[in-house]
Structure 1
Amino acid sequence: MSWEVVIGLEVHVQINTATKAFCGCSTEFGSEPNTQTCPVCLGMPGQLPVLNGEAAEKTILTGLAINADINLESKFDRKNYFYPDLPKGYQISQFAVPLVENGYLDIPVKDGGEKRIGITRIHMEEDAGKSMHEGLDGVSHIDLNRSGVPLMEIVSEPDMRSADEAIAYLKQLHQLIVFLDVSGANMEMGQFRCDANVSVHQPGTPFGTRAELKNLNSFRFIKQAIEYEVNRQIELIEDGGEVVQETRLFDSAKGESRPMRSKEEAHDYRYFPEPDLPPLRVTQQQVDAIRDGMPELPGQLRHRFETEYGLSSYDADVLTQTRALADWYESLVAAHPADPKRCANWLANELLGRLKELGKEIEHSPVSAQRLAGMLDRIADNTISGKIAKDVLDAMLESDDDADAIIEAKGLKQVSDSGAIDAIIEAVMAANPDQLAGYRAGKDKLMGFFVGQVMKASKGQANPAMVNQRLQVLLKG
């Protein structure tokens, strides 16, 4: 029996404003519990909310980036439910008329092509607080610092047909959000959270009953949760059971989900218009100004890096993960324009790896683009080899010296004098008569042995191209 999977995602993104959605309290992460609250975000009687305009602008920016329609007039509503971490007994959200509607995001698929995922809406809302269940005595604590923090909820169409497609969509969306500086989107801090609606049905039949997987906060767990839920539903139906509409929690330790509550519908929340906030009205001129200020988006940058710099799609993807990284690469190419591919290789494969070990992002690199370019110039003019350059880069990370100073101080200049290289080769040949005889008897693979011995004898400073060239001559006798 064949089954088709249907997945729709609801992603909550914390907007990186300094203050909350409707009051002036700080949004800083990690403060002492309940120290960033006020009568407004605690819902005290008589306190009136005031919209954070920056949150609205960043929501519009995200809407433009996903090719969506911006409603010039949107409205706020009250979503009513009772939970310990919701001090007001309701959440200010947008239900009837969201700020953003009808967008899409193109994602890569396995055959090398792209698939378009529809995005139904992006609406603004405020976050709830946080319940903390500690110890074995069953005591729970409530931290309301997060209460009122501005969120975007990004709701997709049910267009994904596998866990892999869902992860591809989430990664594209995550990259876009970070690139636009709309959010840090740190999943461990809860800045990028996902609810997944999953159902299965046989091809040609109506969609099945969906279950919602709640508050998933890592790509690995999201994939595991979706795959578990798909298998659970298929086994349930094939055993004669029925899938019920419910919300489920995924236990990452056990790799399984469990029922949390029956799935609510809109009427369960008793939505009604927020009486304390007027409609949000923006002008087309304001929208156009935000559009004009948009940076190149990751997809546009990837295409330009491939066409303008001749990079592979893989390299272009790596170097456009963040705007800071893309800008750093372009600064490097500007300083070493002769070889954009060499720039990409040394940035992606060497510098980024070392920075990861140091726990640093590219914007905090001890080595500037100009200093790295100076080192690449020395590779290009054969002053140093690629192998020696790795040692030079290590030294640059530990000091403020440029490549030339390090090469001079450590005596690392590459040996390109044919007479000096010939002398090293002859010494290696004399020290290895059996291998020499074997090579001259037709064992061509011994060439690699001699290359290695010459490079070792020269402490890596012999010009590799010249070593190969002179070995071809001298080994023949």
Structure 2
Amino acid sequence: MSTSKLIHGYEVVIGFETHAQLSTHSKIFSRAPTEFGAEPNTQASAVDLALPGTLPVMNEGAVERAIRFGLAIGAHVAPRSIFARKNYFYPDLPKGYQISQYEIPVVQGGEIGFFLGDEKKTVRLVRAHLEEDAGKSLHEDFVGQSGIDLNRAGTPLLEIVTEPDMRSSDEAVAYARELHKIVTWIGICDGNMQEGSFRCDANVSVRKPGQPLGTRREIKNLNSFRFMKEAIDFEVRWQIERLEDGLAIEQATVLFDPDTGETRAMRTKEDAADYRYFPDPDLPPLVIAPEWIERIQGEMPELPRLMAARFVADYGLPEYDATTLTQSKAMGAWFEEVARASGQPKLASNWIMGEVSRRLNAQEIGIEQAPLAAATLAALIRRIQDGTVSNNAARQVFDALWTGEGSDVDQVIEAKGLRQMNDSGALEQIVDEVIAANAANVEQVRAGKDKAFNALVGQAMKASKGKANPQQVGDLLRRKLGI
């Protein structure tokens, strides 16, 4: 659970409900396909449309994905869970109710840990339950009317619910990113937020420290991490201003408008009693045998937290580095290839978390699309380590490799004349000349002025056209000046 950070004397309290669309090829209770982007109403079967005489049949693949998630977060996977009818009326809900889980969900408890900066955070989960998605109302292409597309009706979802453990928008976004990483890592969801495969609802409230929880407002369908932060920050400001004006907060469901940067009320928020939950008479209890869980446990990939722990143990990385490098399976594998080939895991970590990540973020691509091979970065790190190039020169080589000016590290070094000066006699002569030409700085150095010493190093590097080794330059200066 998180420590509080007050805003104008108020504590922010945030909980999340996330709908992860499960990566099955068919729907949760029918054999209709789940592909995105089909023509409206071409993937809605008789079961999805709730035509008379149809009965739902549970999709085994959806249950397996729920079990996989439960194992990944250290939760209890219920041996017996119940499906319920959640009753509400909306044009895109053909049955007039949604099949979901209420009293006994399939996944119970668990937690998700992540870093916010270099601080470790933990968010407790209440539950994760299986349910079907509703259809979609279309407003854009109809003048004065709305259309209904039921292709999405019946698509399998895992709704993941947290305790109200988050205390800032930054923490909420960090949690959402970590959850997104987990569901994509274990292959239960493709994580595509633009297509609605990973949709987050943030329950936001504020209170004075030590007071009971405030009235929450639910921000629905946040489909990007940037909008998530903007929406929560606006909602927090709005609630505090309202309370400071002596007005009450009413429980409501709100939407975020990215064009205005504001939230606006959509409807009064319902409570569980409003949905009149009762067990679905068409579906028997979901029974999960221990052998089923054991089989799935044996098929699980190495989880992010376990890979991070291995990076700490095997490569001596700080925990923060190890966690950052396991943001995706591909990133973890890429790091391992660079670390093994270069023999320098910490240098590999520094370059990947620094220059590589900066370029990936700027181009909005993943490590899989990086124009630089892991083996090539390893070769560059070896050239830094053996003194062939300085760190500054290595960045120039990296830039050329990334932008396609060359593909071979040694060829780029030679073509750009970046090989570091290894002639000790020539370097000594440069240092002597710098000392002779900078008497004032020399006196300041002898008086203990670090800035003057750095100026002498800079002069020597300039005279060598950046080819000298800064460490060697510094050592020579110290020896010659007797410091």
Are 1:184 and 2:190 an aligned pair?
A: yes
Return the alpha-carbon distance in structure 2 between the equivalents of residues 248 and 404 of structure 1. 58
Indicate yes or no: 2:27 matched with 1:20: yes
* AA matched with 1:133: H
Q: How does 1:362-377 map to 2 (within 5 A)?
A: 362-377=367-382
1:20/1:452 Cα in 2 relative to 1: closer, same or farther (>3 Å)?
farther
Aligned residue in 2 for 1:140 = 146
Q: One-letter code of the match for 1:258? A: R
Indicate the SS of the match to 2:91.
coil
Aligned partners of 2:320, 2:24: CA distance in 1, in Å?
33
Aligned to 1:73: 80
Report the AA paired with residue 324 of structure 1: A
Structure 2 unaligned blocks of 5 or more: 1-7
1:290, distance to aligned residue in structure 2 (A): 2.0
C-alpha change, 1:436 and 1:153, in structure 2 (3 Å) is: same
Judged with a 3 Å threshold, the aligned counterparts in structure 2 of structure 1 residues 441 and 239 are, in CA distance, closer, same or farther, namely: closer
- CA distance in 2 between counterparts of 1:101 and 1:389 reads 50
Q: CA deviation at 1:465?
A: 3.0
Work out which of the residue numbers 154, 158, 162 in structure 1 matches 2:160: 154
Residue in 2 that maps onto 1:378: 383
SS in structure 2 at match of 1:329: helix
Residues 61 and 291 of structure 1 are in contact (CA less than 8 Å); yes or no, is this contact kept in structure 2? yes
- Aligned counterpart, 2:63: 56
Q: How many angstroms does 1:344 deviate by? A: 0.6
Q: Which amino acid aligns with 2:66?
A: T
Indicate the SS of the match to 1:51. Answer: coil
Match of 1:361 in 2: 366
Residue 170 of structure 1 aligns with an amino acid whose one-letter code is A
Provide the secondary structure at the position in 2 that maps to 1:396.
helix
Q: 1-side partners of 2:465 and 2:118: how far apart? A: 46
- Give the SS at the match of 1:185: coil
Q: Does 1:348 align with 2:356?
A: no
Aligned pair in 2 of structure 1 residues 105, 422: CA closer, same or farther (>3 Å)?
closer
Q: Which residue of 2 aligns with 1:216?
A: 222
Pair 329,225 (structure 1): closer, same or farther in 2 beyond 3 Å: same
Instruction: State the shift of 1:160 in Å.
Output: 3.8
In structure 2, do the counterparts of structure 1 residues 384 and 211 end up closer, same or farther at CA, with 3 Å as the change threshold? Answer: closer
Provide the residue aligned with 2:294 in structure 1: 288
Distance (whole Å) between structure 1 residues aligned to residue 133 and residue 243 of structure 2: 36
- State the shift of 1:140 in Å: 3.0
The alpha-carbon deviation at position 45 of structure 1 amounts to 4.2
Residues 87 and 446 from structure 1, CA distance in 2 versus in 1: closer, same or farther, beyond 3 angstroms? Answer: same
Residue 318 of structure 2 is aligned to residue 312 of structure 1: yes
Unpaired segments ≥5 residues, structure 1: none
Distance across 2 between alignment mates of 1:400 and 1:90: 61
Moved more, 239-248 or 120-129: 239-248
Question: Partners of 1:376 and 1:109 in 2: how far apart?
Answer: 29
Q: Kindly tell me: are residues 420 and 132 of structure 1, through their superposed partners in 2, closer, same or farther at Cα, counting changes over 3 Å?
A: farther
Could you say if the C-alpha distance between residues 40 and 464 of structure 1 is closer, same or farther in structure 2, counting changes exceeding 3 Å?
A: same
Q: CA deviation at 1:318?
A: 1.9
Deviation at 1:120, TM superposition (A): 1.8
Distance in 2 between residues matched to 1:466 and 1:143, nearest whole Å: 70
Determine if contact 2:30/2:56 at 8 Å carries over to the other structure.
yes
The Cα offsets for residues 168-212 of structure 1, whole Å up to 9 and x where unpaired, read as 433332332233232232333322222233445556665444333
CA distance in 2, matches of 1:203, 1:455: 56
Query: Contact 1:21–1:52 (CA<8 Å) still a contact in 2?
Result: yes
Cα contact 2:137–2:149 (8 A) shared by 1: yes
Task: Tell me the equivalent position of 2:336.
Answer: 330
In the superposition, the TM-score normalised over structure 2's length comes to 0.82
Superposed, 1:174-323 pairs within 5 Å as 174-200=180-206, 206-236=212-242, 239-323=245-329
- Identify the residue that residue 109 of structure 2 maps to in structure 1: 102
Deviates further, 276-285 or 297-306? 297-306
The answer to whether the 8 Å contact 1:40/1:49 transfers is: yes
Q: Distance in 2 between matches of 1:109 and 1:219?
A: 15
Aligned to 1:393: 398
**Contact 1:195 1:216 (C-alpha < 8 Å) held by counterparts:** yes
1:387–1:113 Cα change, 3 Å:
closer
Identify if the C-alpha distance between structure 1 residues 423 and 26 changes in structure 2 by more than 3 Å, giving closer, same or farther: farther
The 1-side partners of 2:246 and 2:413 are apart by 74
Change (3 A) 1:392 1:145: farther
Letter in 1 for 2:338: L
Larger displacement relative to structure 2 (217-226 or 178-187): 217-226
SS in 1 for 2:388: coil
C-alpha deviation, 1:347, in angstroms: 1.5
CA contact (8 A) 1:298 1:320 kept: yes
Listed one character per residue, the Cα deviations across residues 236-257 of structure 1 (whole Å, up to 9, x for unaligned) are 5565544333323333444443
Contact residue 416 and residue 466 of structure 1 kept, 8 A: no
Distance 1:32 1:464, change over 3 A: farther
TM-score normalised according to structure 1 size: 0.83
Aligned with 2:438 (options 421, 436, 439): 436
- Contact preservation (8 Å) 1:74, 1:281: yes
> CA offset at residue 350 of structure 1?
1.8
Give the equivalent residue in structure 2 for 1:465: 471
Contact conserved, 2:18 with 2:201, CA < 8 A, in 1? yes
Cα 1:298–1:38 change in 2 (3 A) is: same
Aligned length: 470
